Amino acid sequence: MQACGGLLRGQPVKAYREEEGVAPDSMTDTYVAMQLAIDNWRWADVPFYLRTGKAMTRRTTEIAIQFKRVPFALFRDTPVESLTPNVLALQIQPDEGISLQFGAKQPGPEIRLGGVRMDFKYRDYFHTEPSTGYETLVYDCMIGDAMLFQRADSVEAGWKAVQPFIDAWKKAGTDGLKTYKAGSEGPEEANELLKRDGRSWRKFG
C-alpha cells in the first residue's frame, strides 16, 4: 500500500511519489496491515492484528488487547453481541499511558449497561513530559545498557518472517500496489481483513 495525495489535519499532503527525493515510479510501501499467529499452546487461536503507515489520521503507537466475549449473557435480556468489548490499551506514544474499557451495570433496579473507560496518563500523574524513544535509546548507548536493543539473531529471525512478503510484492509489480488517501485511517482492504473475522480496527481517536 502506498499513500496518495490527501488532507492531513486540514492541510494538503503530497502523494508519496511526489515527495522530494522519492522516485516517481517508487514501489516502496508506506502502509501494511496483517494478521499473525504465534505457533504455541499459550497463544493458540489468538489472532494478532498489526498495522502501520505514513500520513495517517493521527500519529500514534499503541498495543490494544481485546478480551474475548463470554459465550452467555450475564444479564437477562442483554444479547452477548451488544456488550461493550473489554479492551486494555497501552499507549506507547505520543500520550503515554494505559486505558481500560469495559461494560458495567448502571445503578438502579433496571438492567442497563454503560461503557466505562478508565485512563492513566503519565503526563497527568507525574506532571512531566515523558522522554521520546530516541532520547532513551541514545542515553542507553552512552551508558552501555543494551536491554532495549535487539540481538542479531532476533533481527535475522524478524527478516526471515518478513522477507517472503517483500518478495511476493516485488513479484506482483505495479499490479500489486494499492493506494490510500493521506489523512485517512488506511485502505478499505485493511478493513476487510478484520471484517472477515467479525472485527474492526480501533479508531485513532
Please spell the DSSP secondary structure of 67-95, one letter per residue: PPPPSS-SSTT--GGGSPPPEEEEEEESS
Structural domain span for residue 77: 60-128
Please report, in tens digits, the pLDDT of each residue of the chain (205 residues total): 778 878 777 788 888 888 888 888 888 888 989 898 988 999 988 999 999 998 888 888 899 999 887 766 666 666 656 667 889 999 988 888 999 988 777 787 777 777 888 999 988 888 877 777 688 889 999 999 988 888 999 999 989 988 998 888 778 766 667 888 888 888 888 999 999 988 888 876 5
> For the whole model, what pTM was predicted?
0.78
In a domain, 154, yes or no: no
Give the CA distances from residue 16 to residues 48, 104, 165, 167, in Å, rounded to whole numbers and listed in that order.
Answer: 28, 45, 21, 21
In a domain, 87, yes or no: yes
In a domain, 97, yes or no: yes
Looking at the fold, whether 30 and 71 belong to one and the same domain comes out as no
Domain boundary among 97, 128, 159: 128
The closest of 201, 182, 189 to 59, measured between CA atoms, is 182
In a domain, 187, yes or no: yes
In a domain, 7, yes or no: yes
> 11 has which bridge partners?
8
In a domain, 15, yes or no: yes
β 6-8/31-36 pair status: unpaired
**Distance in angstroms (rounded) separating the CA atoms of residues 188 and 83:** 26
In a domain, 164, yes or no: no
First CA to last CA distance, the chain: 22
Could you tell me if 190 and 62 are in contact, meaning their C-beta atoms sit under 8 angstroms apart? no
Could you tell me if 103 and 114 are in contact, meaning their C-beta atoms sit under 8 angstroms apart? yes
Looking at the fold, whether 52 and 70 belong to one and the same domain comes out as no
Domain boundary among 99, 128, 157: 128
In a domain, 141, yes or no: no
